[in-house]
Amino acid sequence: MSNNHSKDNPSENSNENSSERLPFRIGHGYDVHRFGDGDCIIIGGEKIKHHSGFIAHSDGDVLLHALCDALLGAIGEGDIGRHFPDDDSTYENIDSSILLRQTYQRVTERGYSVANLDCTIIAQTPKMSPHINAMRKNIADVLGVSSTQVNVKATTTETLGFAGREEGIAAYAVVMLYIMTD
């Protein structure tokens, strides 16, 4: 593949402005939220009982936020904060599935679709395994893909770090996109 795009002009590097589009794109995302007041958290679109809530501008869904970042990264569109800034009251307490849906619309407008995605939740508590299948279904439903294209897993940090001290929860997401054909 030729690389005749200017390194100094980001708009020239955009596949949107190029007749040469990559058949696959990969993105990686990460998010973290600190615990605060509350009695539940939302992860992967699932409301989960917990001794704390998240401190966040939106609903604080770290998994969907990491996924938004991965999708935006795959198409070279920055991160969730660029598109849904936390100083904009429009997004205060917003359901993160709305953010994911709007993010994925950007992806499809650029001619791409999800091949698969793989997510990891890092949390000491609460236990995530009872909620994983529902999270997979929620994500698949928002993106309009099969749940077989969505993987969600969780791990603890064996009481190490902020997650191990139960100060908050983090999530990673990796997504592979493929170019849609007419």
Length in residues, the chain: 182
**Amino acid, res. 84:** F
Q: Which of 65, 122, 70 is nearest to 95 (CA)?
A: 65
Alpha helical stretches, state H, 5-131: 10-13, 62-74, 80-83, 96-109
Q: What is the pTM of this model?
A: 0.86
* Domains of the chain by residue range: 25-179
Q: Residues 143-155: pLDDT tens digits?
A: 999 999 999 999 9
Q: What superfamily does domain 25-179 belong to in CATH?
A: 2-C-methyl-D-erythritol 2,4-cyclodiphosphate synthase (3.30.1330.50)
CA distances (Å), origin 163, targets 117, 135, 141, 168: 23, 20, 29, 5
Nearest to 75 by CA among 2, 122, 15: 15
pLDDT digits 0-9 by tens, 120-139: 999 999 999 999 999 999 99
